[in-house]
Chain A
Amino acid sequence: MLDIEDILATERMFDQNKLDVRTITMGISLLSCVSDDEAVLCRRIYDTICRKAEHLTEVSREISAEYGVPIVNRRISVTPIALVAGGCGAKDYVKIAETLQRAADTLGIDIMGGFSALVDRGMTASDEKLLDSIPEALSVTKSICSSVAVGSTKAGINMDAVRRVGEIVKELAERTKDRDADGCTKFVAFCNAVEDNPFMAGAFHGVTNGDCAIHVGVSGPGVVKRALEEVKGAPFEVVAKTVKNTAFMITRLGQMVAQAATERLHVPFGIIDLSLAPTAAVGDSVAAVLEEMGLESCGGPGTTAALALLNDAVKKGGLMASSSVGGLSGAFIPVSEDLGMIEAVQRGSLTLEKLEAMTCVCSVGLDMIAVPGDTSAATISAILADEAAIGMINNKTTAVRLIPAPGKKPGDMVTFGGLMGYAPVIEVSRFRADDFIARGGRIPAPLRSLTN
């Protein structure tokens, strides 16, 4: 039998500590939609998505009501569009993005990801078309996300793609400048991209997946912070154990929701993503967890070590709670989506350089960071190259999602609303890398790629 204490503690996690299931993401393969006619391709894409995900919203609401678990988002990830659209002969892929938006509207989905290209080694003509289409596609749609994989430990870094991404980010910012460049919040570039990630903007349904799968991403930094408040001053073994125990409970919740969703939707279970995903709401911050460990302000000395411990303990605790763990699984450090990070930037303790160091030990990368509007495309590309290099050498996923909001200077605020939050513009190094980025070509795969 359950204790009243356990039940009330769980209710407290939902009510006060913002515990929620961040997303149920349905991955859908669009490979069967391929056609040499753009109109046919678009019709098949729309029909396939709407058929597979017909009950996603309704089932998610049912589960949320019956189990009393908040489920914040319903999302869909699809096969990278560059792979699906290659044969259709269209001059660009904007119509396909609009088709995805139409499907999202029909289904009542919050976000859809997969307007993507995987160009670690090189670009096909279709990849190039997709990249060229990104600025327009993301400015004329509201819930479609795009990602480009520019490198991997196995392939090295495609520096031509890195250069192109800098230009895309700038163009996207310009096209959405009247909305604080919110187009950039829907675009991310990866090194070592994962094929089963339920989180946006980087979710896509990789070709090694089956036709359809349910992935679940949990949240819960507030619950971890609350648990750490109980062990103030205790040594790090106790901190690690407390985080592990909490991550276990959070992940079990995700696993239960995933099971219920797969049964009701008759779709195979994919993965649980163990990531601690913050929001800009009070009490839902990863930075606050790091500060609870004894740091005056996130970004100060000790932050990287604290984050390394947190990231590792979350994985260890979560692993045992789920039959299949995947995605990005770790601690996210998006600036605009985390009140503690926002305040740390304002306080001056958290800088771009410190964030880069933190990405060496967390689950992803430089995420949701507003940079000055006059940051050049080459500088954005160079920041991406640095981040991709960290991922490539350390055999981990890294990513960059920067927002160069036009007209904004360091200290100004940009506001995106909802889960995307708001962010103070952060200082960027004034030293240029134009000649470095102009070289193009490929940074060869590192020695550690030769593991066979």
Chain B
Amino acid sequence: MKKIVVTVVGADRVGIIAGVTRGLADHEINVLTVSQTIVDGIFNMVLMCDMEGSKNTLAEIQQTMGGIGEALGVEVRVQLADVFYAMHRI
């Protein structure tokens, strides 16, 4: 399993979850967990995913997802999950 974290932050609107998960599905990225909240009108979503089955490189995924985020008016960040495990788990 190659775990990545997808973070989505921005003004709330219709279709953010649909757009982001569609992009992930197109890259054959499996979503493991989803957490989503809205704080003061700001949409916050974190998806823990597995990119093991994807044929694309992380750089390619970052580029496409970044573009999807731009179209939706939100910031989409894709990164390896290791950094969060290192900092928050002993």
Residues of A that sit less than 8 Å from B by CB: 1-4, 6-8, 10-11, 65-69, 249, 252-253, 255-256, 260
Contact status B86-A253, CB under 8 Å: yes
User: Shortest CB–CB separation between residue A150 and chain B, in angstroms?
Assistant: 39
Q: Chain A contacts of B14 at CB under 8 A?
A: none
Chain A residues within an 8 Å CB radius of B79: 66-68
- For the complex of A and B, 10 pairs with smallest distance between CB atoms: A68-B79, A4-B35, A256-B86, A6-B88, A252-B86, A249-B87, A4-B46, A67-B83, A7-B46, A67-B80
Instruction: Report yes or no: A65 in contact with B59, Cβ–Cβ below 8 A.
Output: yes
Name the interface residues of B63-90: CB closer than 8 Å to any CB of A: 77, 79-89
Q: A11: which B residues are within 8 A, CB to CB?
A: 7, 9, 77
Contact call B44/A252, Cβ cutoff below 8 A: no
A2 lies within 8 A of B88 (CB): yes
A2 and B48: CB pair below 8 A? yes
CA of A232 to CA of B21 in the docked complex: distance in angstroms?
41
Let me know if B49 is at the binding interface, CB within 8 A.
no
Contact at A249–B83, with CB atoms within 8 Å? Answer: no
Nearest-neighbour CB distance to chain A for B18, whole angstroms, equals 20
CB distance from A385 to the nearest CB of B (A): 43
**Contact in complex: B83, A10 (CB < 8 Å):** yes
**Distance A252 CA – B44 CA, assembled complex (angstroms):** 25
Q: Is the interface of A mostly helix, strand, loop or mixed?
A: helix
- Could you tell me if A2 and B84 are in contact, using CB atoms closer than 8 angstroms? yes
Considering only CB atoms, which chain A residue lies closest to B62 in the complex? Answer: A65
With A2-B88, A7-B5, A67-B83 known, 17 other A-B pairs at CB within 8 A are A2-B84, A2-B85, A2-B89, A3-B35, A3-B88, A4-B46, A6-B84, A6-B88, A7-B84, A8-B46, A10-B87, A66-B58, A67-B80, A68-B77, A68-B79, A249-B87, A252-B87
Alpha-carbon distance A249/B85, docked complex (angstroms): 10
Q: With the chains together, A1 CA to B7 CA distance in Å?
A: 15
| Chain B residues in 8 Å Cβ range of A252 | 86-87
Q: In the bound complex, how far is the Cα of B82 from the Cα of A244, in angstroms?
A: 21
In the complex, 13 of the A-B residue pairs with CB atoms within 8 angstroms, ordered by the A residue number, are A2-B84, A2-B89, A3-B35, A6-B87, A7-B84, A10-B83, A66-B58, A67-B83, A68-B77, A249-B88, A253-B83, A256-B86, A260-B82
Residues of A contacting B85 in the complex (Cβ-Cβ under 8 angstroms): 2
Q: Provide the residues of chain B in CB contact with A68, threshold 8 Å.
A: 77, 79-80, 83
CA A4 to CA B44, docked complex, whole Å? 9
Contacts of B86 in A (CB 8 A): 252-253, 255-256
Q: How far is the CB of B65 from chain A (nearest CB, A)?
A: 12
A249 to B83, CA, bound (A): 10
Cα distance, A7 to B37, chains bound together (Å):
13
CA distance A69 to B5 in the complex (A): 13
